[in-house]
Amino acid sequence: MHDILEKSGFNPDANYKVVGTSPIKHDGYDKVTGRAKFSADAFAPGMLVGKVLRSPHPHAIVKSIDTSKAEKLPGVKAVITREDFPEKKAGTGAGDMTRIAMAREKVYWEGHPVAAVAATSERIAKKALKLIEVDYEVLPFVIDEVEAMQPGAPILHDYLRTKGATGADADKPTNIVERSVLKQGDIEKGFAEADVVIERSFDSKPMHQGYIELQSCIANTSDDGQVDLWCCTQAPWVYRDRLTAIMDIDSSKIKIQQSELGGGFGGKTTFYIEPLAVALSRKAKAAVKMTMTRAEVLKGTGPVSGTHAKIKIGAKKDGTIVAAQSELSFQTGPYTGSAFVNAQQAIWTRYDIANVETLCYEVVSNRPKVASFRAPCVPQIIFGAEAVITELAQAIGMDELDFRLKNAVAKGHTTIYGQKFDEIGLIETIEAAKNCDHYKSPVPEGQGRGIACGFWFNRGGETTGTMSLAPDGTVNIILGTADVAGSRMSMAMMAAEEFGIPVDRVRATLADTNALGFNRVTAGSRTTFSSGMVVVNNARQIIGELCSRAAKMWKVPEEGVIFEDGFCRPASSNVGDFEPMSMKEISSKTTYTMGAISAHSEMNVTGAGPGFAVHIVDTEVDKETGFVAVKRYTIVEDAGKMISPIQVEGQLQGAAVQAIGWALNEEYIYGADGRLQNAGFLDYRMPVASDVPMIDTVIVEVPNPKHPYGLRGVGEVPLTPGPAAIGNAIANAIGVRPTSLPMSPPKLLALMKSAKA
Amino acid sequence: MPDLRFEAPGSLADAVKLLVAAEGPARVLAGGTDVVVQMEMDMIEPALLVDIKRIPDMGRIVQEEGGFRIGAAASGMEICEHEALCAAWPGIIDGVKLIGSVQVKGRATITGNLCNASPGADSVPPMVTAGALAHVVGPNGERDVPVEQIPTSPGKTSLGKGELIESFKLPARPKNSGDAYMRFTPRTEMDIAVVGVAVNLTLDEAGVCTAARVALGAVAPTVLLVPECADALIGTKVDDAALAKLAAAASAACQPIDDKRGTKEFRIEGTGVLARRVAQKAYERARANA
């Protein structure tokens, strides 16, 4: 079936009617009027309320759990603990997943679930939680990953041995999950050639995705074991398969329907309360609704890794970067899964550097298990990488963008991880940045300007979908990927373009897990690209079928029919004198042809085009308080070809807002007791509207030749250089380099003081 | 967990009666922007909520004896939109405007802001420098209490069982006076003061400060009224030397803690910086208020 796509890749000469316009999203009306159904908006007959008992300790042995008093409380219908989940071996995938959902031998962070209750009201459920008696043996804990790497640090897992360790380190208890080196060339030789060498250390704190919609779900487990689960998720099929893995339920008996998603940003690629709700529902024999509080979300769900980075980089006077060496450590929470490899690969992807060595450590500690977040692990590492790139340019005396241009990768470059780049738009993006109004205008008095360049791989992967034609000639699309940011509309637009009909004649909806085959997680900036391939393939199958049906009705050979702008027409006058036949005419007569017209596609999509972006930021720093005002922000990015420009802009602007939060104020603050102190939006300081300037975008279009509409993912690239650009802007404003995220007022004030001293 | 009882009495006397008779913890509810949030977060578990919004005149803002009377249930937005009040006490308005969002201020009251007894409450320092009096009603009669004497420590007030604030009295305003409030927060709004400073000044015709009150927020268990700061300004034209003395006195008066919102060091230094800026603003307003 891929033939249909392979025959026609991106057509640079096509004139689009729908693609490239910005119609109002079909899911937009209900979202702005409040009628859209998000996860917490659902209810089920007889539904109970589920609440979780969480560990107050960052590290402790769970000696015993006595639920008898809670069970006796009137209104309590079920209490679950570790006993309600099958044993899965610690240190395996399923073993880790089940222990994250519900603690077994030990609790590993403050907020780790130890029990859950389903009751007839929230008040009763909360009261029942207080009646559960847990006997803990409190253990020493470690929060920071650098401390966790030290000899003598409290060990989380006795069984853990460092993957990639050699010699004596290979067989001793440790918190280091993995030691990994990625290198090319000869690093010593490279530095020997350098005229200028910069060496610095950087650190970052974990960053939460900050989605507004709290996780909420309703699980309804029937008496014969069928599970119906409604929840907000970026990964329905992954949730299903993980439920199978940890609860031994056949996947065929689990149906997951995703709700409207009120923000995910990677954070809803992994489940938390959902297996608890399923277990409670099974035990209570009733539907159970669970909704997390914001404090539970901040304490119980994963942010992205906090990191430390030592970076050394060298260049020749002519601006050629000759060597880059780094040692990076990544927090992963109590279990592996930080996706540090993204950072290891992406730290220098923008530049052609002959000699590179990147050593990474992934480290467990007593904080929530990390989760995916927009280009996981990359922005916090690019924060340091682009700082030293800027410093090198300044040391050599080159314009920062010219310096980046001189070292920029282009088509044909093979990356350190073995990917050979096809058409990429880095050079075009840097040139567009040089020519944009922001870069050309002088830096206002008292401000500092920062530049940084970012990258994201963009992904493909397993994707399925169907499409059907209604008798009135309108088109329905069923998607397997989640709609995290408006992809239903982009799909409708691509389908409308294929058929040559108005986009209002097309609607896309989201499938449950029984409706389609497996879909990979909606992440990696893969959705519009991958599901777009499926949609175009389905549309072209249907067009072929329409021609075939018209041929049957006209009694002519199939080759004698062509499809144009919503109509089947005779290919030439030789075929016969037939009036063009509309989609409606054909579709309304399927009773007389071969039945309904529909198509499905199952693909393992490849060919995602990498994305690059340059951010330009002006900041003003209050020298007496360290307060940073972001005055101007411009994102220049290659989007391949835009399906919906307004949605592309929205992605870029949203990323800039998250970058501002990460750069300036968002951080996890732990007390000496190992407990999170700022588990709420009052003190976990995400930016508010007035913290953010208007964000300008300059969108470059270097089409991805592997996609019929030339598009590249745009979800993650625009976050990657953000904190770095803001850091460079602050450094230029105050004349001293901040190296620690967030660059909060107390830190900047101390930094300015130390520079004066 | 006791069941929650909600009452909305129609008179002050009934409200007092309910509070006096309460078994278990009772809370007065006006806007509810602290009480309801704290209940949701399981920080408090009141057995009784007494809503005062249905008591006649509790929402009034009226001129009285050359000053103003503000009812306990007047919302932040009603205060911010009262033109005469805004003209007379711009420093109080500075503080009220910084409480939450417009939506929050549509419910929130300065009474709740005071009785929540947070040292970081934004409307409290300018109410203190204004010399506002809280009119307290309770089972043993009525009394007027300077607002700085209401909170006694974080979360605690000097109000006795059955007592509640009925209204505030703001004094008449002499010519050539002006007040201002500023706070430091890492974000521009929707945040809690790391440091807050209010200054209220009266000048003579030549622009020399004849009276001053300076209050510091978020740097001690309660809002501090600091006479040494006032002394630094009185008798000066609020020039650089006076401002430097003010900043030093303000920093010296701080007794801050290190917490998630800021460090001790940052708070001490920030208080001095802010005191200077606020005094300049109050001085400009006083000069303009001839």
CATH number at B238 reads: 3.30.390.50
Query: Is the domain of B161 the same as that of B74?
Result: yes
Tell me the three state secondary structure of residue A700: strand
Task: Inform me whether the C-beta atom of residue A680 falls under 8 Å from chain B C-beta atoms.
Answer: yes
Task: Inform me whether the C-beta atom of residue A17 falls under 8 Å from chain B C-beta atoms.
Answer: no
Does the pTM surpass 0.95? The reply is: yes
With an 8 Å Cβ cutoff, the interface of chain B facing chain A consists of: 1, 40-42, 184, 186-192, 259-263, 265-266, 269-270, 273
Query: Is the domain of B202 the same as that of B163?
Result: no
pLDDT at A1: 43
Segment A456-492, tens digit of pLDDT:
999 999 999 999 999 999 999 999 999 998 999 999 9
CA distance A294 to A682: 11
Domain end, chosen from B170, B203, B220, is at: B170
Query: Is the domain of B146 the same as that of B203?
Result: no
Query: Is the domain of B184 the same as that of B284?
Result: yes
Give the residue-averaged pLDDT of B60-69. 97
CATH number at B16 reads: 3.30.43.10
Task: Please report, to the nearest 10 degrees, the dihedral formed by the alpha carbons of residues A424, A426, A431, A436 taken in order.
Answer: 100
CA distance A360 to B188: 37
The tokens for A703 are: 């089409």
Cβ-nearest to B186 among A669, A690, A745 = A745
Query: Is the domain of B76 the same as that of B96?
Result: yes
Q: Is the residue at B129 inside a domain? A: yes
Domain end, chosen from B106, B135, B170, is at: B170
Q: Which amino acid is at A124?
A: I
Interface test with B, best of A627, A730, A751 (most B CBs within 10 A): A627
- The C-alpha of A665 sits at a distance from chain B's nearest C-alpha, in angstroms, of 7
Q: Which residues span the domain enclosing B240?
A: 177-288
CATH number at B125 reads: 3.30.465.10
CA distance A658 to A660: 5
Which of chain B's residues have a Cβ under 8 Å away from the Cβ of A685? 186-187, 191
pLDDT at A249: 98
Residue A335 is classified by DSSP as S
The tokens for B254 are: 């701080």
Q: Which domains does chain A have, with CATH numbers?
A: 3-36+460-605 (3.30.365.10), 41-140+209-300 (3.90.1170.50), 377-458+609-756 (3.30.365.10)
Above 50 in pLDDT, residue B290?
A: yes
| DSSP output for A592-603 | GTTS--EEEEEE
By CA distance, what is B40's nearest residue in A? A293
- The C-alpha of B200 sits at a distance from chain A's nearest C-alpha, in angstroms, of 23
Beta carbons of B41 and A744 less than 8 Å apart: no
Residues (pLDDT < 70) of chain A are: 1-8
Domain end, chosen from B146, B170, B194, is at: B170
Tell me the three state secondary structure of residue A140: coil
Q: Is the residue at B102 inside a domain? A: yes
Query: Is the domain of B195 the same as that of B153?
Result: no
By CA distance, what is A749's nearest residue in B? B266
Q: Is the residue at B240 inside a domain? A: yes
Query: Is the domain of B277 the same as that of B228?
Result: yes
Segment B133-179, tens digit of pLDDT:
999 999 999 999 999 999 999 999 999 999 999 999 999 999 999 99
Which of chain B's residues have a Cβ under 8 Å away from the Cβ of A750? 265
pLDDT at B98: 97
Q: Is the residue at B56 inside a domain? A: no
Q: Which of A647, A613, A612, A640 is nearest to A709 (CA)?
A: A640
Q: Which amino acid is at A339?
A: A
Beta carbons of A683 and B188 less than 8 Å apart: no
Give the residue-averaged pLDDT of B108-123. 97
Query: Is the domain of B144 the same as that of B197?
Result: no
Beta carbons of B1 and A746 less than 8 Å apart: no
Task: Inform me whether the C-beta atom of residue A619 falls under 8 Å from chain B C-beta atoms.
Answer: no
H or E segment and range at residue A218: strand A216-221
Query: Is the domain of B88 the same as that of B144?
Result: yes
Query: Is the domain of B133 the same as that of B181?
Result: no
Which of chain B's residues have a Cβ under 8 Å away from the Cβ of A293? 40-41
pLDDT at A8: 57
Report the domain count for chain B.
3
- The C-alpha of B226 sits at a distance from chain A's nearest C-alpha, in angstroms, of 22
Q: Give all strands (DSSP E) within B25-117, no chain letters.
A: 26-29, 48-51, 61-64, 67-71
Beta carbons of B188 and A682 less than 8 Å apart: no
By CA distance, what is A130's nearest residue in B? B1
- The C-alpha of B1 sits at a distance from chain A's nearest C-alpha, in angstroms, of 7
Task: Inform me whether the C-beta atom of residue A627 falls under 8 Å from chain B C-beta atoms.
Answer: yes
pLDDT at A3: 57
Residue B121 is classified by DSSP as -
pLDDT at A13: 86
Cβ-nearest to A683 among B40, B260, B270 = B260
Beta carbons of A126 and B188 less than 8 Å apart: no
Beta carbons of B187 and A688 less than 8 Å apart: yes
Beta carbons of A126 and B42 less than 8 Å apart: yes
Task: Inform me whether the C-beta atom of residue A445 falls under 8 Å from chain B C-beta atoms.
Answer: no
- The C-alpha of B162 sits at a distance from chain A's nearest C-alpha, in angstroms, of 27
Q: Is the residue at B131 inside a domain? A: yes
Query: Is the domain of B22 the same as that of B94?
Result: no
pLDDT at A625: 97
Query: Is the domain of B193 the same as that of B270?
Result: yes
- The C-alpha of B188 sits at a distance from chain A's nearest C-alpha, in angstroms, of 6
pLDDT at B197: 98
- The C-alpha of B224 sits at a distance from chain A's nearest C-alpha, in angstroms, of 21
